[in-house]
Amino acid sequence: MKYLVFSFVLLALASAGCYNPKARVPDLVKTPQPYTFMANKELPKSYDPRNLDGHNYVTVAKNQHIPQYCGACWAFAATSAVGDRLKMMTKGAWPERDLSPQVILNCDKTSDSCSGGHPLAAFKYMHDVGVPEEGCMRYMAKDMECTDINICRDCGHDTPCHAVYNYTKFYVEEYGSVAGEKNMMAEIYARGPITCTIAVPDDLMEYKTGVYRDTTGSTALEHSISVLGWGEEDGVKYWIGRNSWGTHWGEHGFFRIVRGENNLGIEADCQWAVPRVPDRMVRDRRMRSQRNRGRYFAEPCLLEPRGDEGEHVVSPLPAQYVKDEELPERYDIRNLDGHNYATWEKNQHIPQYCGSCWAQSSTSAIADRINLMRKGAWPTIELSVQEVINCGNAGSCHGGWDGSVFKYAYKEGIPDQTCQVYEAKDKACNDLNRCLDCEPGEECKPVKDYKRYKLAEYGTVRGIDDMKKEIFARGPLSCSMRVTQAFLDYEGGVFEDHGDPSLGGHAIEIAGWDKTEDGKEYWIGRNSWGTYWGEDGWFRIVMGSKGLGIDSRSCNWGVPIIDF
C-alpha cells in the first residue's frame, strides 16, 4: 500500500512539472478578440478542422514521452496550435509546417524546459524570436543549451554537426488568453485551435475512446493540450482535444471531453496566438562550407541491391491499363485540385548523421500513398523511420536497401512515428525499440497495443512512361539516383547533370512530373536533407540521360492496406 501511495505521489509531482503557471507572461493583444464581435448564433453545432468539407487541416500527431520522458506538454500544445492555424490560413497548401518544440525547450528562458512551462511563454518566444520547423531540430526530449547548433543543424558523415543559418522562422503577430465555453468557441471558429491546461486524473491516462467525463471534481491544472473543435453526441456536448501522448493513446492521439461544465478545468485557462504567414526564407551561404560539403556524402546511403527484396504483385500493373493519352502533362501530389497530399518533410542528418535515405524515401512514398488513397482524411500517417532502421533488416545508418523496406511493410507492417521518434542511430530490434512510451519517474516500457501499417502488394517499375503511369494511378515511388557535388549544392530550378563525378547512390521519392516553358520534361522529387536544402526539401530534375539515373533504374512501389 505504501508503494502504491508513493507511486501516485511521484506521478503527480512529475506530471505537475509539465505545466508551470509561474512561467505565464502577459498577453499581447493587438486586435479585437472574436468573442467581442461574434454572436453565439454564428457558431455551428459542431466544428472539426480534421474534416472541413472533407479535408483535414490539422498537423501530424506527436508524442512528448519519447525517446525519454520530458514534461514538454506546454511546448507541444503551443506548436501544434500554431502549426494547425498556419495550415488553416494557407488552406492546407504545400508545404505543411510542423514547428519544432525542441527549439522552444532549448531557448525559452521564461519556462523550465522539460520540467514545465506555459503556452504563453512559447507564444512570446515565437513572437520575439521565431521558431523553425522540426526539419531543423528534431524533438530529443531533453534539456539543451540555446545555441545556433541547437536551433537549426546539419550533420556530416565524418564531420561534427554544425549550425545552419538558411532556414525559415515562424512568428506570431499577437497572443492572449481566453476562457469560457462561448468565448473559446468563438476564438476557435474565427481563428483556429487554442491551448488549454487541464487536470490529469488516473483514468484519463487510460482513456481509449468516447466522450470523457471526470467524476472526481479534479481541477488542479497540470497538463497543456490544444482544443480544436467541438460537437455533440447523444445530447452530450463535447470538446475535441489534441494530446501529445502518441497515437496509441485515445482516439489516435486525440480525445473528446464534455463541454460547458469546465470538466478537468478545461474552460478556465486557455490561450491563443495568431501566426504570421512566413516570407520566403533568405538563403545564407554559411549553410555548409565547400570543405564540409566535399565530405558530406562520404559514403552511399543506398547500397547495391542484395537480391532478396523480391516482389509480391497480385493486381494488374498501371503500365498495363493506363493509356498514354490518359496521362496529364503535369502531375504533382502537392497540388491536386488545390490540395496537398504530401506528408511531412524529413531530415535524415539530424540530430546526428545517419545514412538512412533508403528508409526515408520508402516510408515517405508509402505514407503519401496512404494519404492519397484516403483522400487526405484525418489522421495523417507518418511512418517511423527509426523503427525501420531498428527492425526492418533493410539497412543501417551506413546505408541500406529501399526495396527491402517495402518487403518489411508487406510482411510485418510499420508503426507511426509516435512509437519511435527518429534518433538517427542504429539500435537493436526488440519490443522497446518497436514502440515505446516513457512515464515520469519510471523506465521506458514497450507499448503492446499499437497499429502497424501494411502493404497488400509491392514491386518495381522502370522507365519514364511506366513510372508516370504508376505514380498517376497509385502514387509516389521510391527511386535511386547518383549524387554529384552539383546536386549537393542544388538550391532550386530544374537540375541537369553535366557529367560530374558520382559520389555514390542515394534514394529519393518521385511524386510527380511537369515540363518547362520550352517543353523539357522533369521529375518532381522529395529529398530527406531538410527544408533548408533545395526547394523546401524538394527538387526538380530533368528526365532522361541528364537526370542522374533516376528513370534508368528500377523504382519501388507498394500498395497500402487501408483498414482504418
Q: What CA–CA distance (Å, rounded) separates 121 from 102?
A: 14
The long-range contacts involving 315-321, CB below 8 angstroms and separated by at least 24 positions, are 315/457, 315/559, 317/459, 317/461, 317/466, 317/470, 318/466, 318/469, 318/470, 318/472, 318/473, 318/474, 319/461, 319/465, 319/466, 319/469, 319/470, 321/473
- Arithmetic mean of pLDDT over the chain: 93
Q: pLDDT tens-digit profile of 414-459? A: 999 999 999 999 999 999 999 999 988 889 999 999 999 999 999 9
Residue 5 has pLDDT above 50, yes or no: no
pLDDT given at position 307: 83
pLDDT given at position 297: 73
pLDDT given at position 2: 33
pLDDT given at position 277: 79
Residues in Cβ contact with 140 at an 8 Å cutoff, skipping those fewer than 6 apart: 67, 102, 351, 423
Q: Which amino acid is at 546?
A: K
pLDDT given at position 77: 98
Handedness of CA 495, 351, 77, 208 (dihedral sign): positive
Residue 13 has pLDDT above 60, yes or no: no
pLDDT given at position 280: 54
Alpha carbon of 32 to those of 162, 189, 196, 448: distances in Å?
A: 43, 15, 20, 48
Burial 358-396 (b: 16+ CB within 10 A, else e): bbbbbbbbbbbbbbbbbebbbbbbbbbbbbbbbbbbbbb
pLDDT above 90 coverage of the chain, percent: 89
Residue 184 has pLDDT above 70, yes or no: yes
pLDDT given at position 152: 97
Q: What CA–CA distance (Å, rounded) separates 136 from 482?
A: 25
Edge to edge, the sheet with strand 236-242 lists: 171-178, 270-276, 194-198, 223-233, 236-242, 254-258, 211-212
Cα 394 from chain centre:
23
Which of residues 77 and 283 earns the better pLDDT score? 77
Residue 272 has pLDDT above 80, yes or no: yes
User: Quick one: pLDDT band at residue 293, thresholds 50, 70, 90?
Assistant: very low
Catalogue the active-site residues: 357, 506, 527
User: Quick one: pLDDT band at residue 260, thresholds 50, 70, 90?
Assistant: very high
pLDDT given at position 98: 94
Q: pLDDT tens-digit profile of 145-183? A: 999 999 999 998 877 899 999 899 999 999 999 999 999
Question: Which region among 44-53, 127-136, 284-293, 330-339 has the lowest average model confidence (pLDDT)?
Answer: 284-293
pLDDT above 70 coverage of the chain, percent: 94
pLDDT given at position 308: 82
Q: Please give the span between the terminal C-alpha atoms of the chain, in angstroms, as a whole number.
A: 42
Strand stretches in 364-476, DSSP E: 395-396, 399-400, 436-437, 445-446, 455-461
User: Quick one: pLDDT band at residue 107, thresholds 50, 70, 90?
Assistant: very high
Residue 29 has pLDDT above 60, yes or no: yes
- Show the cell assigned to 556: 519501388
Run of H or E including 329: none
Average pLDDT over residues 13-30: 82
304 and 505 in contact (C-beta within 8 Å)? yes
Q: pLDDT tens-digit profile of 196-254? A: 999 999 999 999 999 999 999 999 999 999 999 999 999 999 999 999 999 999 999 99
User: Quick one: pLDDT band at residue 283, thresholds 50, 70, 90?
Assistant: very low
Residue 286 has pLDDT above 50, yes or no: no
pLDDT given at position 285: 38
pLDDT given at position 279: 63
Q: What CA–CA distance (Å, rounded) separates 391 from 373?
A: 26
pLDDT given at position 281: 43
Average pLDDT over residues 474-483: 97
Residue 4 has pLDDT above 90, yes or no: no
